[in-house]
Amino acid sequence: MGQSAGSRVVTTDLAAVDDAACTVLHVDMDAFFAFVELRRRPELRGVPMMVAGDSGGRGVVLSASYEARVAGIRSGMPTGRAVRLCPHVVVVPPDQQLYREVSTEVMAIFADVTPLVEPLSVDEAFLDVAGARRSSGRPAEIAARLRQRISDELQLTATVGVAPNKFVAKLASGLAKPDGLLVVPPDQMLGLLHPLGVRALWGVGPKAEKSLHALGFTTVGDIAGADPQWLRRRLGSAIGSKLYELAWARDDRPVTPMVAEQSIGAETTFATDTADADFLGRTLLGLADRTARRARAAGLRGRTVGLKLRFADFTTVTRAITLPTPTDLGAELYTAAAGLLNRLDLSPTVRLIGIRLEGLTEAAQHEQQLSFDELAAGPAGDGRGGEGSAAAAARGTERVRQAETTIDAISARFGASAVRPASLIRPAGHAEPTENRR
């Protein structure tokens, strides 16, 4: 299984574990709000701190550093009680807007791996990586790279559970916290699960735990060994069946992505800050291409193009432009974003650049509209030396779309780097700022 430190269990040798069936990841950010605050307040590292509401009112602890947790402070605890437990704890007021922004960055990293991302909250999500194995490697390798990207790009830590289903993946991430990775193959699930207390089962809180103890069940293994019909009679049909199935590590729920994406984007953080406009432009071209591919794969087009820059001091600026018509073309995204980039001062040096496509609508409705536009513009040969301007523009756009769609098919078969813009291919021996492209 891996190495155990107290109650923490982690996988130390990824190459030695058979993860072929472990296609579900549960990624849980460690002390998310607290660590986001520590990122911008490094002077608080190593001291007890918590993100909490006003201690004079009815505020509660939203997140606490691990130094504060040693003193007994927990999320959901009244702020006043937390201060009494640890009088020298530093109380930081919450910044929900910042947490939402960082959460968006985290979810964008997940979306780079698979479109099957099911967020549970701002700081955790399930990922189905079954379809990503061909391009991104084994599930354990994907999990390790995700953790590394989060560390490198966001200066945060995440714990990942890797398993055949959602229940065991979430259980694994809980056991591996903080800052750990645990892979649980099918043949090791019951050995891990059965010795645990009944609270390990989803839906079992303090009251249910008491009731189960009164019936003689203290471990998950006790429930697994019970007669399922007796469980259903004593606990109710639904609850008894659910607990019995979970006790045998059975969970057939699929990873369900959000119903509708509000935006699609891509971004990257550089290993070395840069003010090189040419390099930033080439990077933006690659990000526009990735974003457009994702939009086409989802059957979506967007009308608003957003540019994001984060500078060396973590100051972030965003700019946006609205296009005349919705698009899913990398060339159009790049042109719009490059125009925004050219108007910004890059002298503070850039550590992150990103692009987003917003105002999303179904691509099918625009394809239908195109045929109407072409019809209204008249036939290609109208006796005046060529096409009407609207029809000519529409046909030109469709030629670009056909080309990019062809590249999509090639990339799906041979990998995303099989075909790319010539400007992204550098001459041999050419040095440029190092970019983190995990």
Q: Name the binding residues.
A: 28, 123
Active site residue 124: yes
**Pairing state of beta strands 61-64 and 49-52?**
antiparallel
- The answer to whether residues 392 and 303 touch, using CB atoms and an 8 Å cutoff, is no
Task: Give 318-363 as a 3 state SS string.
Answer: EEEEEEEEEECCHHHHHHHHHHHHHCCCCCCCEEEEEEEEEEEEEH
DSSP bridge partners of 310: 316, 352
Residue 115's nearest CA partner among 353, 331, 302, 293 is 293
User: Which one of the listed residues 118, 124, 374, 387 is annotated catalytic?
Assistant: 124
**What is the biggest distance separating any 2 CA atoms in the chain, rounded to whole angstroms?**
91
* CA–CA distance, 389 with 376 (Å, rounded to integer): 11
Q: Sign of dihedral through CA atoms 296, 111, 149, 356?
A: positive
Which residue has tokens 């194995």?
133
* Two tokens, residue 233: 């009679």
Annotated binding site for Mg(2+): 28, 123
Q: 133 is written with which tokens?
A: 């194995």
Mapped onto helix, strand or coil, the DSSP state of residue 166 is helix
Tokens 């609508």 belong to residue: 361
Burial of 79 (0-12, 13-18, 19+ CB in 10 A): buried
The side-by-side arrangement of strands in the sheet containing 117-121 is 117-121, 124-128, 24-29, 158-163, 181-183
Q: Residues with Cβ < 8 Å from 383, sequence gap 6 or more?
A: none
Cα–Cα distance measured from residue 347 to residue 163, given in angstroms and rounded to the nearest whole number: 46
Residue bearing tokens 């004593």:
234
**b/e map 238-263, b = 16+ CB within 10 Å:** eebebbbbbbebebeeebebeeebeb
SS3 289: helix
Q: Quote the CA–CA distance of 178 and 70 in Å, as a whole number.
A: 13
In angstroms, the CA 205 to CA 228 distance is 21
Distance in angstroms (rounded) separating the CA atoms of residues 414 and 419: 9
What's at 258, amino acid-wise?
M
> Which residues are the active-site residues?
124
